[in-house]
Amino acid sequence: MIHFQNVTKDFDNQTALKDISFSVDKGQMVFLTGPSGSGKTTLLKLIYLAERPDNGEIIIDGYDTSQIKDSGIPLVRRSIGIVFQDFRLLENRTVFENISIALRIRGIGEKETKTRTYDVLKNVNLRHKADSYPKRLSGGEQQRVVIARAIVPEPVILLADEPTGNLDPDTAEGVMNTFKNVHAKGTTILIATHNRELYRNTGNKVLRLDSGNLIGEEFGR
């Protein structure tokens, strides 16, 4: 589903990712870990084509991304749900609007948009916050809105960047349970985190980055 072959990415002569190769199979839940600045966010950006590699090959859902023109990017992104590290919530729109926009972008009609948005709001226990604005929410609530927006279109791939970054352990567990439910439906998931609690004893594949190098592929135990 996600395949990197000798991928390198530089920023102004500084290497962010060096000769990275790995695969995530369809339906797999994989963790990406490493200290901050090790290149996790950059790797995710390469997947949703916010960045392009300087070298190497990236294949997403069977498509060689080097063949995808700018006009084809929206189509790729519609098969991906993204939990951004910096949330990217729309401040002047309600929680409902923030989530439903993901469906509207995909051209889904008004009625279906409503039912699906309210369903996912229930799913993340935010039904009562539908008409609130993001600023009025706690960090954990905001995080769940971002997750709801990522999963509501039922993407084939879910990318999550530090989804438990500033959460207390209980809330973090709730977030992980949401991911597990999505995973159970067959979604391929890649989670970037420096929190080892998330993958400990899960048996899931863990990719370990350090200063842009992939230094290990192990299984969480």
Partner 1 sequence: MIAPYALKLAVQSLLKEKWINLLSVMTIGAGLLIISVSFFALYNIDIATKKLPKKFSMNVYLDNNLQQDRLDSIMDAIRKNRAVLSVRYISKDEAMKELKSYLKNSDYILEGLEENPLPDSLEIKLRKDATGRETAQQLAREALKIKGVAEVDYGENFLTTLTAIKKGFNAIGLVFAVILSTGIIFVCYSTVKILFYRRTEEIETFKLLGATKGFIRTPFLIEGAFIGACGGLLSLAGCFSLYYTVLLRLSVTMPVFKAVLFPANLFLPLPVIGMLLGLAGATIALGRIRY
Ligand X SMILES: Nc1ncnc2c1ncn2[C@@H]1O[C@H](COP(=O)(O)OP(=O)(O)O)[C@@H](O)[C@H]1O
Tell me which of 38, 41, 113, 143 binds Mg ion, using CB under 5 A: 41
> Applying CB under 5 A, which part among 37-45, 91-99, 132-140, 181-189 lies near Mg ion?
37-45
Tokens 């229930």 sit on residue: 122
Cα–Cα distance, 115 to 120 (Å, whole number): 9
Nearest 5°: the CA angle 96, 102, 103 is 90
Decide: is 195 part of the binding site for ligand X (CB under 6 A). no
Please, what is the minimum distance in Å from the beta carbon of residue 86 to ligand X? 11
Decide: is 37 part of the binding site for ligand X (CB under 6 A). yes
Cβ-based neighbours of 138, under 8 Å, separated by 6 or more: none
Decide: is 36 part of the binding site for ligand X (CB under 6 A). yes
Rg of the chain over all Cα atoms, to the nearest angstrom: 17
* Cβ atoms of residues 79 and 34 within 8 Å: no
Tell me which of 1, 20, 30, 42 binds ligand X, using CB under 6 A: 42
**DSSP state letter for 204:** -
Reduced to 3 states (helix: H, G, I; strand: E, B; else coil), residue 139 is helix
Question: What per-residue string of b and e applies to 136-174 under the rule 16 or more CB within 10 Å gives b?
Answer: ebeebbbbbbbbbbbbbbebbbbbbbbbbeebeeebbeb
Decide: is 71 part of the binding site for partner 1 (CB under 8 A). yes
Which among ligand X, Mg ion, partner 1, none contacts residue 136 (Cβ within 5 to 8 A by kind)?
A: none
Decide: is 48 part of the binding site for partner 1 (CB under 8 A). yes
Tell me which of 1, 102, 189, 192 binds partner 1, using CB under 8 A: 102
Question: What per-residue string of b and e applies to 46-81 under the rule 16 or more CB within 10 Å gives b?
Answer: bbbbebebeebebbbeeeebeebeeeeeeebbebbb
Tell me which of 41, 100, 117, 143 binds ligand X, using CB under 6 A: 41
Q: Please tell me the count of residues contacting Mg ion according to CB under 5 A.
A: 2
Residue nearer to partner 1 on the CB measure, 62 or 107: 107
Tell me which of 104, 114, 128, 221 binds partner 1, using CB under 8 A: 104
Please, what is the minimum distance in Å from the beta carbon of residue 37 to Mg ion? 8
Cα–Cα distance, 8 to 173 (Å, whole number): 34
- Which residues make up the interface to ligand X (CB under 6 A)? 11, 16, 34, 36-42
- Which residues make up the interface to partner 1 (CB under 8 A)? 48, 50, 71, 74-78, 80, 82, 84, 88, 90, 92, 101-102, 104-107, 110, 149
